[in-house]
């Protein structure tokens, strides 16, 4: 399949970037440069997601050490915990679903970071295992699933941003060449 990159800078390639913004000359170059700068900073969200997940995991270990037994009043209020087998099944289903969604977004080059919701779900799994009294035995399963999900989210964002930066740099070179018609490319 031949893309706008392979054909050159024509048609939608210019209109889908900052170069298609209003303004002439230096304004379009500046807009393109600002977009590149923003794209270079965006993968920090993915790295932050990984760090926050690791901190959440460390907190989960610490909470179990601080509260090894759930108070009886809270247990009466919440009822019996689900079995660890059911929690394990839910973790596996959630992990595979998340991985499939991430991989499908990787194919589409999604520039949005969607890892924040995973912090909540992984925190929920830590709480379910804590409530079931099986956090220590299942900690590494949650950690492995979570770190895989967050690493893929980060990789997806990083690769999509790098691809978009390459496109914007190509547009920037094209616009620079247009402003300097006497100089060759």
List the chain pLDDT tens, one digit each, 185 residues.
Answer: 444 443 333 333 443 444 444 445 567 777 877 888 888 878 888 889 999 999 999 999 888 777 767 778 888 898 888 999 999 999 999 999 999 999 998 888 778 888 899 999 999 999 999 989 899 999 999 999 999 999 999 998 888 888 888 888 888 888 777 777 655 54
User: How much of the chain is in helix, strand and coil states, percent to nearest 5?
Assistant: 75, 0, 25
- In terms of C-beta density within 10 A (0-12 exposed, 13-18 middle, 19 or more buried), how is residue 20 classed? middle
Q: Give the Cα separation of 103 and 35 in Å (integer).
A: 25
Q: Give the Cα separation of 115 and 50 in Å (integer).
A: 9
- The reported pTM is 0.73
How much is the pLDDT for 69? 73
């Amino acid at each position: 399949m031949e893309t706008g990159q392979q054909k050159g800078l024509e048609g939608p390639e210019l209109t889908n970037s900052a170069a298609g913004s209003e303004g002439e000359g230096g304004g379009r170059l500046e807009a393109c440069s600002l977009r590149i700068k923003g794209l270079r900073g965006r993968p920090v969200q993915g790295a932050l997601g990984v760090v926050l997940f690791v901190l959440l995991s460390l907190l989960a270990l610490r909470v179990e050490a601080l509260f090894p037994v759930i108070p009886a009043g809270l247990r009466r209020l919440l009822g019996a915990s689900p079995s660890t087998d059911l929690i394990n099944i839910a973790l596996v289903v959630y992990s595979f679903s998340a991985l499939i969604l991430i991989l499908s977004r990787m194919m589409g080059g999604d520039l949005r970071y969607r890892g924040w919701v995973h912090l909540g779900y992984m925190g929920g799994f830590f709480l379910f295992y804590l409530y079931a009294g099986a956090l220590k035995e299942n900690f590494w399963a949650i950690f492995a699933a979570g770190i895989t999900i967050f690493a893929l989210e980060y990789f997806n964002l990083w690769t999509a941003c790098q691809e978009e930066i390459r496109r914007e740099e190509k547009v920037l070179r094209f616009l620079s060449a247009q402003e300097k018609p006497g100089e060759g490319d």
